[in-house]
Amino acid sequence: MRGYRTILVERVDLGQGTTGRFHGLLHSGGRYVISDERSATECAEESAIVKRIAAEAVEDTGGLFVTTPADDPGYADRFLAACLKTGVPVQEIPAAEALRREPRLNPGISRAFEVQDGAVDAWKLLWGNARSAQEHGAAILSYHWVTEVIREGDRVAGVIARDNRAGEMVRIEAAFVINAGGVWAGEIADMADCPGVTVVPGKGIMIAMNHRLVRTVVNRCEHPGDGDILVPIRTVCVIGTTDVKADSPDDYSIGRDEVQQMLDAGEVIVPGFRQARALHAWTGARPLFKDERAGEGGEDTRHMSRGLALVDHLRRDGVSGFLTITGGKLTTYRLMAETVVDAMVEQMGDSRPCTTATEALPGSEDGRHYWLGSRLAAQEEAMADDQLVCECELMPRRKLVEAARRRPGMTLDDVRRALRLGMGPCQGGFCTYRATGILHGLGDAETERADELLLTFLQHRWLGLEPILYGDQMRQACLDDWIFQGTLDVEHLPVTVPT
Amino acid sequence: MRRAVVIGAGLAGLVAGVRLAEGGMRVTMVAKGVGSLTLSPGVIDVLGYAPGRVDSPREALGAFVAERPDHPYARIGADALEEALAWFTDRVPQMRYRGDGPRNLLLPTAVGVPRPTALAPASMAGADLRGGGRFVVVGLSGLKDFFPRLLADNLARADLPSGAMVGARHAEITASPRPGRADVAGQVYARALDDPAFRGEFAAALRGLAEPGETILLPAVLGMARAGEVFDELQERVGAPIAEVPTVPPSVAGMRLNTELTGAFARAGGRVVLGVEAVGATGSDGRISEVLVRDAARTRALPADAVVLATGGFSAGGIALDSYGGLHEVVLDLPVAGPPAGVAPLSERHLDHQPLMASGVAVDGMLRPVGPGGEPVWDNLHAAGTIVAGAEPWREKSGEGIAIAGGFRAAGAILEET
Amino acid sequence: MTHPLHELMRDSLDHCVKCTICETYCPVAAATPLFPGPKYVGPQAERYRGGDANADASLDYCSSCGICTQVCPQGVKIAEINSQAKAELAQRRGVSLRDRLIARPTLAGWMGAPVWPVANWTTSFGPFRLLLEKVLRIHRKAPMPRWAGRTFQSRTRSRRKAPDPAAPQRKVVFFHGCAANFYEPGTASMAVQVLEHNGLEVIIPKQGCCGLPLQSNGQYDAARAYVRRLAAQLAPYARAGHDIVATSTSCGLMLKREAHEILGVDDDDLRVVSERMFDICEYLVMLDERGELKRDMQPVDMEVPYHAPCQQRGHGVGTPAMELMAMVPGLRASQVDAVCCGVAGTYGLKAEKYDIAMEVGRSLFDQVRASGAALSVCDSETCRWQIAAATDRPSVHPVEMLHRAYGLG
């Protein structure tokens, strides 16, 4: 948008990393008013901007902070004062009013505060940004894995990436390289011979529940802890999250103990939570920039800064043409971009102002927010002349065919991120076979690849199912096994699937 | 007249119910809803993989149960299985089950895998791949659960017995019972084909699609109540052999079997009470005397001299897993046999053996649920079907065999008691 | 609209494993592509509801027959979820005059009863029915009952006795419903005589409408008021230990379960009434199991097709009518292989749904006609009217067959 020719290089699919692995909360800032004042103010400002520029990706659910019987009753007054200090809009409402709005909430809540939280669909947000970038002339290379940062003396002059689908190496020469690798930013800085950029992966698990148990975002009015947020997003609500230091950003394992911890936490917010149906669990790794000079660190990553971190490699390492931006959170993604591009513009001696806070993303021009019934309304229109492929998430065939035309060679996980295939209650039980058959029928996936797509998707779904298999989801998993193994015998498809 | 209560209306419950009613008992079948038989592909599996592909279940079964002493087949016994299957096929003549003596057939699934099964309706058996063959796979434009090209292409790559050559191509027809509607369910096609008018249109669309020597493979939607007539007439009018391929739910073939078997139960004098939940039992001296069911207004006691528990496993809800990992039998709170100690209940690899999935109630030789010491919990309570521990029927391709033989054996044990 | 029980019903959507059994049994989805099916509009669409707008008008094609809940092996309260969502849809769209009228059988009943010959003439008068269709969108061919003149209540005033806690088991309360009151007092009288023949004294208290038609037409507040009033009228008898016996199977089910599960009525009057409520065939079979049913039936040499209506199936008591008819020598009753006659209370009266309702019932009508029997048997009034109109022969309550067998007529 500032007139530079830009190439975005992403190692897998957009949103396969941390951005797509969160609970969907567009922070009002309330969560950080005491622990991290700067983050709180940034969130308050940025969430208002995101609601405006990315309206289509945001549901304006509003949020509540509630003092449950398990919370320190003294926190509420400190919370209120800190909101005023940090500029986070807040309004106390009677606990009875909160219970009227959210009948499932713990009836023992003593205080309730209304804040301006929202729910944001990370993938919609990403695709909105991607389309915007493309409209401004940028190219996006997904499934390109950076293997080398090209150095020419004291300056960075581009990157070499492996195109993982074509199996070719791609050399990209550039006047400037911005490292926005998130949890992987340290690895990329190392490639540029700028060592010591330490980004600690703060791993958290989240669990999506089958339907909305609450209509607004519910936070516990307490020092930020594990499992204290319940976010209604799309058709589900998500409880999150834990926070443990991971050894590797690619560690997606989900501990059974972490699941139990989330379920207990859910019970505190919504009694009976354990009886509700869990759909799927996943992990995301927060990029926590380790500021060693401040002497912090240790194992509990929650006390590390949530703030964005700009690393100026010219000042730090004497390397020009290279900046690292990391830390931060999804709510402040735009501010991170503004900050790093401002720094780049300054280093390049330009003066081109940032306009991302005012220009709406494609699809959000009319300022209308996402609403829960939108897919149902669209399906009502399409019912006569289209087939429903994913019944849970109401994904019609036409959408899949269009997506396949736009982006040939998708995996079913790519389809999931773009169209929510397999994200509903049956977790792919009925749609995986359909989507495979359609992509194969279109000629988009030849037979062996089609078999691979099917089995890989089932395996990937399983990774998020296995840790939360109990109650209704266990019933579903067994029915799905009956369909795939019992009726279709997919385990004897003539193809081997990588783990 | 002695009274039996059968809990569950799936395959095992229906088999037990029919045999008990024929044996002269007054049988009441109670079920929360329609049994999951309506979701089944309509074939009768006995043993398909152990874990290699099984050519002859009869020959393989001995070694299979020797290695798995806790498998339901180890309790039921091979002889009871044979007797039960013969008895069963007589009860459902309209399904026209066909097999190859002791050997498995090898029928294509909707995704094109050759799948072993012991018996199949005549409308499916014609697709037996053991001797190879040439096929034209025909899709229906309105049916979203059948992909002729994927089936045909996978069939051409399939792992078949040596010497068997398969050629397959694909086609599609647009004849539809709901013209102008893109999404037409399998049961809508099936019911429409019962009607001679649409049948004629359908036959006309198929005519000429098959070259000489080719068999037409179609999704299993060829008729509902009049499936036999529909199949015969289509073959005759099209002038080529036809075979149905089972579909994922909604499965028309499963619905046909359910209809015929529930009909057999009614003709034998059995009563079905649908839409109620069995919630417990009362009894004394080790015998159940009443089964408690919850109807629209109250909890009612059904007098019972014998009880068959056929509520299914996890998917049908007979066994439940709570959020703490506890296993429960939902009606009578029977002890549940889960994975043995020291064994990981689930594997991270989806298609691996998943020990937790084989959970259920352990039974004795008369299929009576037993406690930890191997003693029956109730002397007159018998279990059959997926609720019995020790099998992963969808992996073994053994579900119908276990259900039929189990239901038959449980009923036999009850009838022998007098 | 929302009440705690609504949340409970809604939570049952968690049990849905998408198996589609409900869709394969849904009589409306089988008859028309306009209705996307109970799974679709129920547990599936419900996950998209709760916002400010209803997005799926196709929901309105659900006839509320309740078969989906009954066949669901997973315990999803599909019909209940759909009914709630339909009521919300009706509220948003506004309830039409037609739906207000047909939901109040007592209103039409009282309007017609005093002038019954005229009323009967007008409702069978073609031009008037055309007008009714034009103005109110009630289909001109939809079956309409005929007013019987004096109401059953006024004929049985002498039986309006107080509860008798001293002899609760010898005296039963008869709940006749609106249809018997205005249109079929004969059926109600036969029921009373059959009960008396079995040595029971029959009390017929003053009683109003259960509110079922209001509920199925989305007018929940009015329905709640009706059913609460009725429960209050019957509760003293239930508390005294009297069983309550109903010939109207759908109204009986309303009191047993639907008022609680769909309307969320959760009061003590309804609870005691619900626990004492029996469908008459259920009650007679229960008497038989206790050895208290008179078996002095005379031969009735007839073949009759029997249809167990959707609402009767909802009781979860099997098919006691078939068991009773099997006790009658010579009577050869066979159950029709069909789930629904299509009318579903008031659904089949509506001009925009009449054709669907007739298509739903087609197989049932064909079987009744093909049987060659002089009449058919069915437990529910509106279903009998529908079946009689479509098959050109009378359709009677099973208790009428018993009445004949006992030689009471």
Regarding whether B279 and B221 lie in a shared domain, the answer is: no
Q: How many CA atoms lie within 13 A of B200 on its CB side?
A: 3
- Which of these three, B240, B272, B301, is where a domain ends? B240
Contact flag A447-B157 (C-beta cutoff 8 Å): yes
Which chains share 3+ C-beta pairs under 8 angstroms with B? A, C
Regarding whether A85 and A208 lie in a shared domain, the answer is: yes
| DSSP 3-state of B68 | coil
* Candidates A276, A377, A426; nearest CB to C17: A426
Q: Is residue A318 part of a domain?
A: no
Measured at the CA of B16, the angle between CA B13 and CA B20, to 5 degrees, comes to 135
Q: Nearest C-alpha of chain C: how many angstroms from A346?
A: 47
In tens, the pLDDT along A72-93 reads 999 999 999 999 999 999 999 9
Contact (Cβ atoms closer than 8 angstroms) between residue B28 and residue B4: yes
Contact (Cβ atoms closer than 8 angstroms) between residue B7 and residue B316: no
Distance, in Å, from the CA atom of C361 to the CA atom of A262, rounded to the nearest integer, reads: 51
- A 10 A CB-CB count for B15 gives 32
Distance, in Å, from the CA atom of A324 to the CA atom of C146, rounded to the nearest integer, reads: 85
Label residue C56 by pLDDT band (50, 70, 90).
Answer: confident
CA neighbor of B107 nearest in space, from B53, B35, B187, B170: B53
Res B204: pLDDT: 98
Looking at residue A278, which CATH number applies to its domain? 3.30.9.10
Contact flag A375-C48 (C-beta cutoff 8 Å): yes
Mean pLDDT for B59-75 is 96
pLDDT above 90 as % of chain B: 96
- Which of these three, A236, A266, A286, is where a domain ends? A286
Contact flag C58-A424 (C-beta cutoff 8 Å): no
In tens, the pLDDT along B8-32 reads 999 999 999 999 999 999 999 999 9
**B residues 340-359 lying closer than 8 A (beta carbon) to C:** none
Q: Is residue C336 part of a domain?
A: yes
Res A306: pLDDT: 60
Identify the residue among B32, B105, B111 best suited for mutation to test binding to A, counting A beta carbons within 10 A and taking the highest. Answer: B111
CA neighbor of B249 nearest in space, from B42, B387, B395: B42
Beta-bridge mates of residue B303? B290
Contact (Cβ atoms closer than 8 angstroms) between residue C17 and residue A479: yes
- Which of these three, B240, B265, B285, is where a domain ends? B240
Which chains share 3+ C-beta pairs under 8 angstroms with C? A, B
For A259-263, B60-64, B77-81, B203-207, which range has the lowest pLDDT when averaged over its residues? Answer: B77-81
Which structural domain, as residue segments, surrounds residue B308? 3-92+256-416
Looking at residue C64, which CATH number applies to its domain? 1.10.1060.10
Regarding whether B411 and B293 lie in a shared domain, the answer is: yes
In tens, the pLDDT along A146-197 reads 999 999 999 999 999 999 988 999 999 999 999 999 999 999 999 999 998 9
Q: Is residue C363 part of a domain?
A: yes
Q: Is residue B100 part of a domain?
A: no
* Direct distance between the N- and C-terminal alpha carbons of chain C, in angstroms, rounded to an integer: 48
| Chain A residues bordering chain C (beta-carbon distance below 8 Å) | 103-104, 210-212, 215, 235-236, 275-277, 371-377, 379-380, 383-384, 391-392, 394, 424-426, 429-430, 471-472, 475-476, 479
Q: Is residue C391 part of a domain?
A: yes
Q: Is residue C390 part of a domain?
A: yes
Whether C50 has its CB under 8 Å from any CB of chain A: the answer is yes
Distance, in Å, from the CA atom of B62 to the CA atom of B212, rounded to the nearest integer, reads: 43
Here the ipTM equals: 0.97
Whether B132 has its CB under 8 Å from any CB of chain C: the answer is no
Whether A115 has its CB under 8 Å from any CB of chain B: the answer is no
Regarding whether A240 and A112 lie in a shared domain, the answer is: yes
**B211-214 LR contacts (CB < 8 Å, sep 24+):** B211/B134, B211/B136, B213/B134, B214/B134, B214/B135, B214/B136, B214/B240
Q: Is residue B56 part of a domain?
A: yes
Distance, in Å, from the CA atom of C30 to the CA atom of C37, rounded to the nearest integer, reads: 9
Regarding whether B409 and B297 lie in a shared domain, the answer is: yes
CA neighbor of B109 nearest in space, from B76, B68, B155: B155
Regarding whether B272 and B234 lie in a shared domain, the answer is: no
Distance, in Å, from the CA atom of A231 to the CA atom of A114, rounded to the nearest integer, reads: 14
Distance, in Å, from the CA atom of C169 to the CA atom of B53, rounded to the nearest integer, reads: 65
- A 10 A CB-CB count for A353 gives 9
Q: Nearest C-alpha of chain A: how many angstroms from C238?
A: 33
Looking at residue B376, which CATH number applies to its domain? 3.50.50.60
Contacts B–C by Cβ distance under 8 A: 95
Q: Is residue B290 part of a domain?
A: yes
Count structural domains, chain A. 2
Q: Is residue B116 part of a domain?
A: no
In tens, the pLDDT along B120-140 reads 999 999 999 999 999 999 999
Q: Which residues of B touch C25 (CB under 8 A)?
A: 34
Regarding whether B235 and B262 lie in a shared domain, the answer is: no
Single-letter amino acid, residue C196: E
- Length of chain B, please? 418
Q: Which residues of C touch B35 (CB under 8 A)?
A: 73
Q: Which residues of A touch C49 (CB under 8 A)?
A: 372-373, 376
**CB proximity list for A6: less than 8 A, separation 6 or greater:** A133, A136, A137, A138, A139
Q: Is residue A451 part of a domain?
A: yes
pLDDT above 90 as % of chain C: 77
- Per-residue buried b or exposed e for C95-123, using 16+ beta carbons within 10 Å of the residue's own CB: beebbebbbbbeebbeebbeebeebbebb
Which parts of C223-327 are beta strand (E)? 244-246, 277-279, 302-307
Regarding whether A241 and A383 lie in a shared domain, the answer is: no
Label residue B362 by pLDDT band (50, 70, 90).
Answer: very high
Label residue A294 by pLDDT band (50, 70, 90).
Answer: very low
Res C51: pLDDT: 67
Burial of B193 (C-beta count, 10 Å sphere; 0-12/13-18/19+): buried
Res A305: pLDDT: 56
> Residue A490 above 80 pLDDT?
yes
Q: Which residues of C touch B33 (CB under 8 A)?
A: 21, 70-75
Q: Nearest C-alpha of chain B: how many angstroms from A494?
A: 7
Count structural domains, chain C. 2
In tens, the pLDDT along C315-324 reads 999 999 999 9
- Which of these three, A286, A301, A330, is where a domain ends? A286
Contact flag B36-C73 (C-beta cutoff 8 Å): yes
Res A218: pLDDT: 98
Q: Nearest C-alpha of chain A: how many angstroms from C262?
A: 18
Regarding whether A260 and A388 lie in a shared domain, the answer is: no
- Which of these three, B206, B240, B274, is where a domain ends? B240
> Residue A301 above 60 pLDDT?
no
Res A499: pLDDT: 60
Q: Nearest C-alpha of chain C: how many angstroms from B277?
A: 9
CA neighbor of A146 nearest in space, from A337, A288, A241, A11: A11
State phi, psi for C371 to the nearest 5 degrees.
-65, -25
> Residue C223 above 80 pLDDT?
yes
- Which of these three, C65, C93, C121, is where a domain ends? C93
Res A498: pLDDT: 63
For B16-25, C100-109, C159-168, which range has the lowest pLDDT when averaged over its residues? Answer: C100-109
β A217-220/A63-67 pair status: parallel
State CA B80 to chain mean position distance.
18
Q: Label each residue of chain A as H, E or C.
A: CCCCCCEEECCCCCCCCHHHCCCCEECCCHHHCCCCHHHHHHHHHHHHHHHHHCHHHEECCCEEEEECCCCCCCHHHHHHHHHHHHCCCEEEECHHHHHHHCCCCCCCCCEEEEECCEEECHHHHHHHHHHHHHHCCCEEECCEEEEEEEEECCEEEEEEEEECCCCEEEEEECCCEEECCHHHHHHHHHHCCCCCCCEEEEEEEEEEECCCCCCCEEEECCCCCCCCEEEEECCEEEEECCCEECCCCCCCCCCHHHHHHHHHHHHHHCCCHHHCCEEEEEEEEEEEECCHHHCCCCCCHHHCCCCEEEEEHHHHHCCECEEEEEECCHHHHHHHHHHHHHHHHHHCCCCCCCCCCCCCCCCCCCCCCCCCCHHHHHHHHHCCCCCEEECCCCEEHHHHHHHHHHCCCCCHHHHHHHHCCCCCCCCCCCHHHHHHHHHHHCCCCCHHHHHHHHHHHHHHHHHHHHHHCCHHHHHHHHHHHHHHHHHCCHHHCCCCCCC
Which structural domain, as residue segments, surrounds residue A205? 57-116+200-286
> Residue A493 above 80 pLDDT?
yes
Res C119: pLDDT: 85
Contact flag C69-B275 (C-beta cutoff 8 Å): yes
Output the six-digit token pair for B218. Answer: 């179609």
Count structural domains, chain B. 2
Regarding whether B298 and B213 lie in a shared domain, the answer is: no
A324 backbone φψ class: left, alpha, beta (φ>0; ψ -120 to 50): beta
Mean pLDDT for A463-468 is 96
> Residue A299 above 70 pLDDT?
no
| Residue in chain A nearest B397 by alpha carbon | A486
Contact (Cβ atoms closer than 8 angstroms) between residue B92 and residue B257: yes
**CB proximity list for B199: less than 8 A, separation 6 or greater:** B193, B230, B233, B234
Q: Nearest C-alpha of chain C: how many angstroms from B275?
A: 5
In eight-state DSSP terms, residue C146 is -
Res C53: pLDDT: 67
Q: Nearest C-alpha of chain B: how many angstroms from A227?
A: 16
For tokens 């649920």, the residue is: B369
| Residue in chain B nearest A276 by alpha carbon | B323
B51 backbone φψ class: left, alpha, beta (φ>0; ψ -120 to 50): alpha
Mean pLDDT for A224-228 is 90
Which range, A305-309, C166-170, C214-218, has the best average confidence (pLDDT)?
Answer: C214-218
Q: Which residues of A touch B41 (CB under 8 A)?
A: 486-487
Distance, in Å, from the CA atom of B136 to the CA atom of B367, rounded to the nearest integer, reads: 45
In tens, the pLDDT along A436-454 reads 999 999 999 999 999 999 9
Which structural domain, as residue segments, surrounds residue C340? 293-405
Q: Is residue C73 part of a domain?
A: yes
Q: Is residue B350 part of a domain?
A: yes
Contact (Cβ atoms closer than 8 angstroms) between residue A6 and residue A139: yes
Whether B39 has its CB under 8 Å from any CB of chain C: the answer is yes
Mean pLDDT for A37-46 is 94
Res A303: pLDDT: 46
